[in-house]
Amino acid sequence: MAHEIPVKVRFSETDALGHISNISYFIYLEEARVEFFAELGFGRDINNWKIILASASCDFVNQGYYNQKLTVQTRVSKIGNSSFQVVHEIKDTESGELIAKGQASAVHFNFQTQKSEALPEFHRKQLERHLIKEASPHEN
Amino acid sequence: MAHEIPVKVRFSETDALGHISNISYFIYLEEARVEFFAELGFGRDINNWKIILASASCDFVNQGYYNQKLTVQTRVSKIGNSSFQVVHEIKDTESGELIAKGQASAVHFNFQTQKSEALPEFHRKQLERHLIKEASPHEN
Amino acid sequence: MAHEIPVKVRFSETDALGHISNISYFIYLEEARVEFFAELGFGRDINNWKIILASASCDFVNQGYYNQKLTVQTRVSKIGNSSFQVVHEIKDTESGELIAKGQASAVHFNFQTQKSEALPEFHRKQLERHLIKEASPHEN
Amino acid sequence: MAHEIPVKVRFSETDALGHISNISYFIYLEEARVEFFAELGFGRDINNWKIILASASCDFVNQGYYNQKLTVQTRVSKIGNSSFQVVHEIKDTESGELIAKGQASAVHFNFQTQKSEALPEFHRKQLERHLIKEASPHEN
């Protein structure tokens, strides 16, 4: 089950080549992630933030444009002890054309102790609801 | 009659002080402007863009936050021969609290000749529909 | 006496019209301001930040380009009890061509009490060293 | 032989968690790439741009801060027929601490025909000068 957000490409998110800046895709992927994390129950409180990112990547499949309506779908590809991985697909909302694919590794993190912590059972169950079938869960 | 757009504050649009970055307000004002220009009939074609900005300003009235739903209202405050001015209000969508006020001077511009051009009558009429009453029209 | 910083235009700071995005000028002006504030003795500690911005504006005089080397000059135009105003000039470093002019109103602010505070005498003296002669100091 | 650029973290490149935004690392990696491409002889002319990005990724190793002086080193990890890969290390300039590692796949692209083209021999030789020894060249 994919988590979905709509994204509207802002003018300032283009670059001098006339397309969406490569940078902006990472803005959209971050937006999809933080929305997904909030839905999983990690909250939106900046002073009690619980997730850090270990890595992020994006494959640029087709060029995107100013004013394009995009949909970012997020699924879970792996669940570890204190970390998990998500994969994203950015598609043109109308045509369904694949614009970009993303991936990120997130860590359940305690900013006070500056250490990672095991994922609480509640969040693990939430993550499993979004786990793609091909992936094997519970690996690190 | 105000033109309105909704804006959702992206995580990347905050800064280390925990609020919306001052910079991001200008992203929202630009977004409001380009949407407004498109509605006025200036089009969205990057290769046939017709408006340049002479100036932009923003008064930061109340602090804005990540994930806040904002509404940007745009009105016309002055119509000149080849230029016009808009004023914006950025409000919290739910409470109506004023977050920021903006202003911009726009010029009808020919990128080929690199010169300003008189506003076509069609666009002038469109602009007048959004003119605030207190302002005196047709000044330069 | 103007405070000066060099700025190199990043590729991501352009937009689809092929020039520096209007937004990016505000990034450069902010960069000039925070460097200036640090030189004035306000420090760089995010957890003990002392200045908020009341307003910012920019006049776009000439188009700027990717990879352009810019210099941002900052001067003080007005010193009030708890606030002050700065003016900026953004110039092409090599030719000296004026690219943009900026202005900002800053307030000496206590984030704990969420109130403005009178400018300490030390910082006032620092500000006066950068005050432009035409301006009349000590107004609010 | 690594290509190097200095990067100064701008205030607007932080986010509400008080660190460099994940997004900003991709700004620095892009900046390192476009500088590297220019040094390789691909030019800086927006109207005659020759490289598109197929993918980009970043591992966030240590947290970065506002005002930090960073150095981005770029090396070539693979050279194909029309494409090549680069790897980056972002380090604290003073301490040498590793802050992030990046990777990108670039394609020699003709924007007129919208097709990839074989890397010219001149550029291939330039790329080889920056090839890391462990990698095997001339693969696709």
A30: its two tokens: 């971050």
- The minimal CB distance from C23 to the residues A12, A18, A22 is found for A12
pLDDT at A91: 98
A26: its two tokens: 């990472």
- Which residues touch A60 (CB under 8 Å, ≥6 apart)? A22, A25, A100, D52, D53, D54, D55, D56
Residues of chain C in contact with residue B60, where contact means CB-CB under 8 angstroms, are 52-56
Query: Which of C116, C32, C114 has its CA nearest to residue C70?
Result: C32
Interface contact flag, B30 A11, Cβ < 8 Å = yes
Query: Rounded to the nearest 10 degrees, what angle do helices C22-37 and B22-37 cross at?
Result: 160
Tell me how close the Cα of D58 comes to any Cα of chain C, in angstroms. Answer: 17
Residues 47-76 of C with CB under 8 A from A: 66
Per-residue b/e over A34-50, b at no fewer than 16 CB within 10 Å? bbbbeebebeeebeebb
Interface contact flag, C30 D12, Cβ < 8 Å = yes
Does A18 contact chain B (CB < 8 Å)?
Answer: yes
C94: its two tokens: 């090599």
pLDDT (tens place) for every residue of chain B, 140 residues total: 899 999 989 988 998 888 899 999 999 999 999 999 999 988 888 888 899 999 999 999 999 998 899 999 999 999 999 999 999 999 999 999 999 999 999 999 998 899 999 999 999 999 999 999 764 545 44
Q: Taking phi first (over 0 means left), then psi (-120 to 50 degrees means alpha), and beta for anything else, what does residue C96 get?
A: left
CA atoms within 13 A on the CB side of B128: 13
Q: In Å, how far are A116, C75, C90, D20, D99 from A110, measured between CA atoms? A: 6, 43, 43, 18, 19
Q: Is the pLDDT of residue A139 over 60?
A: no
pLDDT at A135: 47
Tell me the three state secondary structure of residue A103.
strand
Touching subunits for chain C (3+ Cβ pairs under 8 A): A, B, D
Q: DSSP 3-state helix, strand, coil percentages of chain A (rounded to 5)?
A: 25, 40, 35
Asked if residues B41 and C70 have their Cβ atoms less than 8 Å apart, the reply is no
Size of interface C-D (CB pairs under 8 A): 32
* Site from D15, D17, D19, D66 to mutate, B interface, most B CB atoms within 10 angstroms: D15
- The minimal CB distance from A34 to the residues B11, B44, B47 is found for B11
Asked if residues B115 and B50 have their Cβ atoms less than 8 Å apart, the reply is no
Residues of chain D in contact with residue A22, where contact means CB-CB under 8 angstroms, are 26, 30, 53, 56
Asked if residues C66 and B36 have their Cβ atoms less than 8 Å apart, the reply is no
pLDDT at A43: 84
Asked if residues A9 and A67 have their Cβ atoms less than 8 Å apart, the reply is yes
Query: Which of A57, B69, B116, C62 has its CA nearest to residue D60?
Result: A57
pLDDT at D107: 97
The secondary structure of residue D14, as a DSSP letter, is B
Reported as a single tens digit per residue, the pLDDT across D36-92 is 999 998 888 888 889 999 999 999 999 999 889 999 999 999 999 999 999 999 999
Interface contact flag, C26 B26, Cβ < 8 Å = yes
Reported as a single tens digit per residue, the pLDDT across C75-111 is 999 999 999 999 999 999 999 999 999 999 999 999 8
pLDDT at C1: 82
Residues of chain A in contact with residue D54, where contact means CB-CB under 8 angstroms, are 59-60
D48: its two tokens: 């005659």
CA of D29: which chain A residue's CA is closest?
A23
Cβ neighbours, 10 Å, residue D26: 26
pLDDT at C130: 96
Mean per-residue pLDDT of chain C: 92
How close are the terminal C-alpha atoms of chain D, in Å?
22
Reported as a single tens digit per residue, the pLDDT across A51-101 is 999 999 999 999 999 889 999 999 999 999 999 999 999 999 999 999 999
Residues of chain C in contact with residue D66, where contact means CB-CB under 8 angstroms, are 44, 46
Residues 106-135 of B with CB under 8 A from D: none
Q: Is the pLDDT of residue D28 over 80?
A: yes
CA of A20: which chain C residue's CA is closest?
C16
pLDDT at B139: 45
Q: In Å, how far are B44, C37, D18, D65 from C45, measured between CA atoms? A: 43, 11, 10, 11
Interface contact flag, B11 A18, Cβ < 8 Å = no
Interface contact flag, A15 C19, Cβ < 8 Å = no
- The minimal CB distance from B15 to the residues D14, D22, D23 is found for D14
Interface contact flag, B55 C57, Cβ < 8 Å = yes
pLDDT at B134: 63
Does D11 contact chain B (CB < 8 Å)?
Answer: yes
- The minimal CB distance from B15 to the residues D12, D22, D23 is found for D12
Place D1 in a pLDDT band, splitting at 50, 70 and 90: confident
Tell me the three state secondary structure of residue B117.
coil
Query: In angstroms, rounded to a whole number, what is the distance separating the alpha carbons of residues D80 and D33?
Result: 17
Amino acid at C96: G
B22: its two tokens: 């001052």
CA of B65: which chain D residue's CA is closest?
D16
pLDDT at D134: 64
Query: Which of A32, A113, A109, A18 has its CA nearest to residue A66?
Result: A18
Reported as a single tens digit per residue, the pLDDT across C9-47 is 998 899 888 889 999 999 999 999 999 999 998 888 888
A69: its two tokens: 């309506």
CA of B23: which chain D residue's CA is closest?
D12
